[in-house]
A and B are shown apart, each in its own frame.
Chain A
Amino acid sequence: MTQPAQVRHFRHEALLYDGIGQFVASVVPFIRDGLEAQEQVLVVVGPAKIEALRAELGSDAGEASFVDMTSLGRNPARLIPAWRRFIEAAPQPRSIRGVGEPIYPDRSPAELVEAQAHETLLNVAFGDTAGLKLWCPYDVGVLPPEVVAEARRSHPIVVAHGGSEAHSESYVPEHPSPARRDEPLAPPPEHAREFTFGSEPGELGIVRGIVWQYAVRAGLSRVCVDSLTVAVNEIATNSQLHGGGRGLLRLWTQDGAVICEVSDAGQIIDAPLLGRTFPPMHQRSGRGLWLVNQLCDLVQVRSGKGGTVIRLHMRGDHA
């Protein structure tokens, strides 16, 4: 058996296509080439595209792995850990071909920014990973030009429909993510409810009670209510331990989602993959943000000299 030829460096490439037809016409040969070279193939795209790819690949589809981006990547912070698991499970010498489309038109503005941050963080997370070639498709027919321009900044190589590759002249190796930590979030609405908390025993219980009641009244499912309560507890605990011992909780609803924001005086220093690295068994602390990313639909972290703001989004449609 011939060993697959290993890509020497991480290849992070943006595929620019226009419409589902071009998507299938570009991605199917990419997948087939990988399968023929005995590479491990993972495709993380929306369900309609998975269906279209499977139909075109026919029996070859069984050799590749498909994951629904709208589920796994609902919170883009869950994508890097998923890629890492796939990479670690691959046989050596590692040769992996991936397709991941974290940016699609249904993303809310907040999700889009975090998905763009994910694209940038891929370079940080896998910059040293040999044997990984990842295509990130962008539908230029429906995505705003500025989103496509951002793709050119976060991907060193741009692939056009038809397969021609070109180095992106806009690529910035030390790319400042659009969701960089010092970039402020849009201010909360005026009707947001506010509660301050400190570090006295019982205060976390009060915070949990406030979140739980608010989420129930907002109509979230029981699973979502409990998940959000656990998540806010973790962030409020961080405020107690690392954020000056006190914090401000704000709650509001927006576009069917409950949003909980916790701000404090602490500062997160230089940890770009915080919450995206699986905490090993023996690790006593540092599990909170990992857990929060697994539980919430979107997590926005902003931190600077003025303090830290963490905004958690939870929609109510989880089973």
Chain B
Amino acid sequence: MTRWPVRIERGCDYVGLVESAARQVGEVDELCGLGPGAHVCCVVRTSDQLELWARRCLQEGALAGQKLFRVISQAHAPAGRHQERHVTVIDPATLSRNGYEPPSADRVFAMYRRESARAREEGFTGMRVVADMRWTLAYPALRPQLAAFELRLDEVIAEVGATLICVYGEGDHAKRDLAEVVAVHPLTGGVPVADAGLRIWNLDRGTWEIAGEVDESNVDLFERALSAALASGPVRRLRCGGLRFISAAGVRALSGVSQAQPGQAVVIQEANPMLRRCWTIFEFDAQLPQVVFEPSASRSEEVAG
């Protein structure tokens, strides 16, 4: 775990500490080697593939002392399959307020917090969940919100230290939708899908990491993801060390989302010089004092110190 003091130079008086737990980021093979806080987007080609990998993944969780869960809708539960021992099955429909509306994000997040706490009370090291995301297909209205939902869920998973594998069927979702949900998971596994060119994930409470490139092809995703990431909390931090490129539309999206969160400070860390320059050229620094660029050099010194 690394800790560094965050100094906000203007815009608000907040001075605090960010604790950054190292999260697993990148590609995983066959859902193995996953630790607490791992949040994987796994795209599978067949149900058999899903079942094989899910079994292995849950076995690994059992060996790690985690309480095991499967999230799967009744419609997609394999016919005639006996429930695995020691695996708790959650039907997402049970999280719906009235049985026909999609489960609200807040109810889903509450479930992860509640079950994670319960697992620890029962002596487990945490919870491991394989979620068959085909349940979302029953709610077309959920589709445009899926990436934002996954991104906020990522913060919950990081917070409770759960291990979550979200499994999407390659043929069940549009390629663009798959690319978007992959982009909001820190870990990816399974069948390779189209790359959105952008990745955003939760680093720690209130801190988000952005990597890749933002241009016309993914600026809508970027804006929606930012809106989800900046949705709550008095201070939000965006670490942009891996953001190699951002277009004018991306800079505008960043300003627009920041402006839409009144009273909330946004701290941008490790911004590349061009993001900083474009921000100044558009005079957002004068118009949005709540957005603070943290000098990279001083942060490095503080980490080193």
Binding site for B on A (CB under 8 A): 201-202, 204-205, 208, 223, 226-227, 229-230, 233-234, 237, 240-241, 278-279, 281, 284-285, 287-288, 290-291, 294-295
Contact A201 B217 (CB under 8 A): yes
Q: Which residues of B contact A (CB under 8 A)?
A: 194-195, 197, 213, 215-218, 245, 247-249, 252, 255-256, 259, 272-274, 277-278, 281-284, 287
Most chain-A CB neighbours within 10 Å: which of B248, B272, B283?
B248
Write the chain B residue with the least CB distance to A212.
B245
Further pairs besides A202-B197, A226-B272, A234-B247: 6, Cβ < 8 Å: A201-B197, A204-B217, A227-B274, A233-B215, A233-B247, A291-B278
Q: How far is the CB of A225 from chain B (nearest CB, A)?
A: 10
In the bound complex, residues from chain A placing their C-beta under 8 Å from that of B248 are 230, 234, 287-288, 291
The number of A-B residue pairs with CB atoms under 8 Å apart is: 62
Given contacts A237-B247, A284-B252, A291-B248, contact A204 B273 (CB under 8 A): no
**Which of A208, A278, A281, A285 counts the most chain B CB atoms within 10 A?**
A281
Residue of A nearest to B286 (CB): A281
Which residue of chain A has its CB nearest to the CB of B218? Answer: A201
Question: Is the Cβ of B274 less than 8 Å from the Cβ of A294?
Answer: no
Q: Are B255 and A281 in contact (CB under 8 A)?
A: yes
Question: Known contacts A229-B245, A287-B249: does B284 contact A281 (CB below 8 Å)?
Answer: yes
Quick one: given A281-B287, A285-B249, are A205 and B281 in contact (CB under 8 Å)? no
What residues on B are CB-neighbors of A226 within 8 Å? 272-274
Chain B residues with CB under 8 A of A290: 281
Shortest B222–chain A CB gap in Å is 14
CA–CA, A226 and B194, complex, Å: 27
**A205, B216: Cβ atoms under 8 Å?**
no
Expressed in whole angstroms, the minimum distance between the Cβ of A279 and any Cβ of chain B is 7
Asked if B274 and A202 sit within 8 Å, CB to CB, the answer is no
From A201, A205, A223, A234, B194 is in contact (CB under 8 Å) with: A201
Write out the residue numbers on chain B whose beta carbons fall within 8 Å of the beta carbon of A234.
247-248
For the complex, what is the distance from the CA of A290 to the CA of B278, rounded to whole Å? 11
